[in-house]
Amino acid sequence: MRRGSGSKTTVLFKLGRELFDSKKVLLTTTTKIYVPEQEDIFVLIKPEADIVNNPEILTGREKLKVWGGGIYNQLGNNDKLLGVGCNTLDYLFQQDIMAYLLIEVDGARQKPIKAPAEYEPCIPKRATTVLDVIGMDAIGNTLNEKTFHRVDVFLKYTDFQPNSTIDTDVVAALINWEQGLFKNVSLNARKLLILNKVDNPQRRNSAEEIVRKVLMQKTGGVPDKIIFLSFWTANHLVNGFKEHNGIVIPTYGGQSGHPPVFLTEYRAEFMDITGDAGARSIIKITLKILRSWKLMTLELFRIIIILMKFLVQNNCYKQREG
């Protein structure tokens, strides 16, 4: 997990909680993150613990493990966990002690977009999935440090002018730039990009334009998947989920899209997924369209509710008859 418009640490711990129900999880960072609030589910491993030489410290599933390289005391602010070296995390990954290592590797100082410094980001070589976030609220703002973290780095290596307008060309260039958004990501890692805060038709048009420009490029960091997120989409998905208590999938122009919402009872099936099959390997019954909602002004999305039961025979799921 990497840079974005804030909330990365919140997502980190939320994802950790979800995975913890079925697997052993270690949460950590190669940069700095706020020390989590004390909860029954968390155990904060002391920074001085010698995990490399005593990996048994991580054994046991009674708590969700959180570990950093030290504690940084900020005057008047909450303490922060300091980062752990990439080589250390690669070593822990090799030990195969934890099912998941969730790592925050970069920060943007609460700004919607950033470029990495020469020493950033510190991403373990064995990382299997890298998630980057860009806030679409950056579009239309001035290309300066107020909105764009480390804008001086971006301007130094591109032809854009300081104090010009951040447009789709700027965002696409950052994504495709070899020293940009997906810098230091190994060739084998899956690259996911979230365009966040797609909260109105103008931002959606801009997001679609960014996708077209990114996919036209043949070099640099082309993501394996690009996901749009918005307050309205999330709000209506949650409302539909609460009303029908099933599985909810948004569609755009008649095509199913992201993000789907699933009952937690399907967690075990998701944990068993291998390869790039995704939810398609789980959804094996006829879709039933129950209702449509107007998710954004001038744009109508359908919400598909899937009522799903699994009949397990010979390790196969069969479609329910009738």
pLDDT of residue 207: 94
pLDDT of residue 69: 84
Which residues make Cβ contacts (< 8 Å) with residue 101, sequence separation at least 6? 25, 26, 28, 89, 92, 93, 124
Q: Residue 277: in which H helix or E strand, if any?
A: none
pLDDT of residue 25: 87
pLDDT of residue 157: 93
pLDDT of residue 140: 97
Q: What is the DSSP string of 129-152?
A: EEEEEEEGGGTTSBSSTTTEETHH
DSSP single-letter state for residue 38: P
Q: What is the pLDDT of residues 136-177, one digit of tens each?
A: 999 999 999 999 999 999 999 999 999 999 999 999 999 999
pLDDT of residue 266: 65
**Residues 189-214 as b or e (16 or more Cβ within 10 Å = b):** bebbbbbbbbbbeebbebbebbbebb
pLDDT of residue 6: 47
Which residues make Cβ contacts (< 8 Å) with residue 312, sequence separation at least 6? none
Tokens, residue 205: 């048009």
Q: What is the pLDDT of residues 226-278, one digit of tens each?
A: 888 776 666 667 676 666 656 677 666 566 666 677 766 666 666 676 666 56
Distance of alpha carbon 112 from alpha carbon 316, whole angstroms: 44
Report mean pLDDT in 10-residue bins for the chain, 322 residues: 57 79 82 73 76 78 79 69 89 85 86 92 91 92 96 95 97 93 91 87 92 82 83 67 67 65 68 64 43 32 32 36 38
Which residues make Cβ contacts (< 8 Å) with residue 105, sequence separation at least 6? 1, 2, 29, 30, 31, 121, 122, 123
Cα 192-101-31 angle, rounded to 5 deg: 80
Angle of helix 168-176 relative to helix 201-216, nearest 10 degrees, comes to: 40
Pairing of strands 64-67, 25-29: parallel
Supply the pTM of this predicted model. Answer: 0.69
pLDDT of residue 200: 83
Cα 18-22-23 angle, rounded to 5 deg: 95
Q: Is 132 in contact with 3 (CB distance < 8 Å)? A: yes
pLDDT of residue 97: 81
pLDDT of residue 320: 37
Helices (H), the chain: 8-20, 86-95, 151-157, 168-176, 201-216, 231-244, 267-271
Burial class (CB in 10 A: 0-12, 13-18, 19+), 290: middle
